[in-house]
Structure 1
Amino acid sequence: MLNVAIVGASGYTGLELIRLLDRHPGVVISCVTSEQSAGKRISEIFPTLRGRCDLILEPLDPAAITAKADLIFTALPHQAAMKVVPDFLAAGKKVVDLSADYRLHDPAVYGAWYEPHLNPELLPEAIFGLPELRRESIKQARLVANPGCYPTSVILGLKPLLENGLIDITTIIADSKSGTSGAGRSAKVDSLYCEVNDSFKAYGVGGAHRHTPEIEQELSELAGKLVTITFTPHLVPMDRGILSTIYATPTRTVTTDELVALYADTYKDEPFVRPLAKGQFPATAFVRGSNFCDIGITLDSRANRIVVVSAIDNLVKGASGQAIQNMNLISGFSETAGLEGLAIFP
């Protein structure tokens, strides 16, 4: 059995890790940490775990954690993760980091969007953990940078088009909507009930959202040239889920039938990407609680625009489910272990 620790277990991504790992046949959760709730049982924080995971939350002590775990999930805010990840690696442990700290290859880019990086020497070896792009590299990694939720939905939505040179890369617009759990569990005015209920708003408008460089980095690698996009996220009054609608101009004459066939062929062997049939488009309700990414595509022939719609659960394929998918690849488990569950509907 693989002993795993969850550092930062009292947030929503920590809860999702526990929920999903509870049904993993090859894993034991040996340690959970929380600075604010140390000394309490995790089931006191999340009553859904009663009788299934009653571990006592511990303070963040790298030496104590590495003594108990073979692999460590760091579900911490950016900057906090990079303060402890080097200690885990130095102890010979493998790490799947759910923060933004190791996603960007260039420390200068990270510094421009976040703060100065504390250990830029680790960036070259950190593997961006989108299995549909880097499966073989992930298998050999000791540090995986789990992708952000918005980037996952946009990158998977555009991968087939960019790999085949089918879109003008100067015309990409990504319009994404997320449930409120994407903002985390800590109290913020913008995520209070009265602020969110019966409302729908854009934020990070004008290329200001921190996921923008992550998206552009990965799209540029797929395209083989620098990609700059217009990305606008929105907050919608639902708990979880992301729906991204992506627009781009084709580089040649193309039909909807051709596009649908391309997506079906590109993702035919991917266990968690479900390309939809012609005329079908995803909804967040049909991926809720699952590790699936559903994708629909069409050509708006009147405007000569390709329209891609992708849906994920931001806490699963957009965070904890993908982290477990990466753990499975690193550890030699079946890639789908612990992640076979269908969406929760209705």
Structure 2
Amino acid sequence: MIKVGIVGGTGYTGVELLRLLALHPEVELTAITSRSEAGLAVSALYPNLRGHVDIAFTEPSTQVLSACDVVFFATPNGIAMQQVPELLAAGVRVIDLAADFRIQDAQEWSRWYGVTHSCPELLAEAVYGLPEVNREAIKNARLVANPGCYPTAVQLGFLPLIKAGLIDADTLIADAKSGASGAGRKAEIGTLMAEAGESFKAYGSGGHRHLPEIKQGLTDAAGAPVGLTFVPHLLPMIRGIHATLYGRLIKPAGDLQALFEAAYANEPFVDVMPAGSHPETRSVRGGNMCRMAVVQPQGGDTVVVLSVIDNLVKGAAGQAVQNMNLMFGLDERAGLSIIGLLP
């Protein structure tokens, strides 16, 4: 059994990890930490876990976490990097669900996150945990940077087109929408249902923290810097991301449907829908699937990709479990055979 620790078990991604790992056939939940809730039974805070998780929150001490085989950090940005070096030195493998190790350039990271990175020497070692791109590297990684939610939906949608050299990589557009849980479990006026309900708005249009992460991944695929306009929006729903992606074709595209189907034919958590489909966020709610469709409107030189995920699962906790499975030589689908919740 894999002994698992979770740092930051009280947030939305933390409880999603608990929900998935509690039923994982190869996992023993060893430590769930929270400074604010230390001593409280996990099931007292999240009654959906009654009968499945019977341990209490503890302080996030390195001594306790060092007894784990792998530790997930479901913490705000800037927390994991303070403790990861000690855990790696103790032989613990780490999966960070925040952004501390996603961007390879320490100065670029500091520019977007507003603080100096405390262990920049680990950025080169950290493996970006998008299994559809870095599966083999993830298997041998000590430290995995779990991708952000928007970056997962956007990169998976654009990658087949970029790798095939079919679109102008200087003029990419990602128009993406997320449910309110993407902001995390905190008291913030803008994400209260009374504020966000019956409304729809863009935010971060001048520059969002996920922009450099997306550009980094697409640049690696293109082999040259890409130009991307990324505008996120807040939807009046709890969970889910819908990314509408636009690219300008620079050469005859051929059969785009066949291109996408071939690109993801062997991917257990990417579903390319039949031609003419429009994927819905509710079809992936609670599951680890990225569901997408591709269209060339009126046969013109614009290609549109529609990509949906659950921001808390494939966009966070589910992808983290997928990475853990790869790191420990398990079936990649272990603990993740979850069907989306309808209605």
User: The TM-score by the shorter chain falls in which range?
Assistant: over 0.9
Q: Using the TM superposition, give the Cα deviation of residue 183 of structure 1 relative to its aligned residue in structure 2, in angstroms.
A: 0.4
Q: Counterpart in 1 of 2:198?
A: 198
CA contact (8 A) 2:166 2:252 kept: no
> Which residue type is aligned with residue 204 of structure 1?
G
Q: Counterpart in 2 of 1:296?
A: 293
Q: Counterpart in 1 of 2:4?
A: 4
Question: Which stretch of structure 1 is more off in the superposition, 326-335 or 302-311?
Answer: 302-311
Q: Distance in 2 between matches of 1:54 and 1:212?
A: 39
Q: Using the TM superposition, give the Cα deviation of residue 281 of structure 1 relative to its aligned residue in structure 2, in angstroms.
A: 1.8
- Cα distance per residue 1:138-171 (max 9 Å; x no partner): 0010000000000000000011001000000112
Q: Using the TM superposition, give the Cα deviation of residue 22 of structure 1 relative to its aligned residue in structure 2, in angstroms.
A: 1.7
Indicate whether 1:134 and 2:131 are aligned. Answer: no
Q: Counterpart in 2 of 1:180?
A: 180
Q: Distance in 1 between matches of 2:66 and 2:184?
A: 26
> SS state of the match for residue 287, structure 2?
coil
Structure 1 unaligned regions, length at least 5: none
> SS state of the match for residue 306, structure 1?
strand
Q: Counterpart in 2 of 1:212?
A: 211
Q: Distance in 1 between matches of 2:50 and 2:123?
A: 39
* Superposition pairs of residues 259-278 of structure 1, within 5 angstroms: 259-278=256-275
- How many residues end up aligned between the 2 structures? 342
Q: Counterpart in 1 of 2:91?
A: 92
> SS state of the match for residue 233, structure 2?
strand
Q: Distance in 2 between matches of 1:24 and 1:136?
A: 22
Q: Distance in 2 between matches of 1:252 and 1:327?
A: 39
Q: Distance in 1 between matches of 2:85 and 2:253?
A: 48
Q: Distance in 2 between matches of 1:101 and 1:149?
A: 15
> Which residue type is aligned with residue 236 of structure 1?
L
- Cα distance per residue 1:175-201 (max 9 Å; x no partner): 000000000001111111211110111
Q: Counterpart in 2 of 1:39?
A: 39
Q: Counterpart in 2 of 1:161?
A: 161
Q: Counterpart in 2 of 1:23?
A: 23
Structure 2 unaligned regions, length at least 5: none
Q: Counterpart in 1 of 2:305?
A: 308
Give percent identity, aligned residues only.
50
> SS state of the match for residue 102, structure 1?
coil
Q: Distance in 2 between matches of 1:306 and 1:101?
A: 33
The alignment's TM-score, normalised by the length of structure 2, stands at: 0.98
Q: Using the TM superposition, give the Cα deviation of residue 60 of structure 1 relative to its aligned residue in structure 2, in angstroms.
A: 1.1
Q: Counterpart in 1 of 2:54?
A: 54
Q: Distance in 1 between matches of 2:59 and 2:195?
A: 33
> SS state of the match for residue 173, structure 1?
strand
> Which residue type is aligned with residue 140 of structure 1?
N
CA contact (8 A) 2:31 2:64 kept: no
> SS state of the match for residue 307, structure 2?
strand
Q: Counterpart in 1 of 2:240?
A: 241
> SS state of the match for residue 301, structure 1?
helix
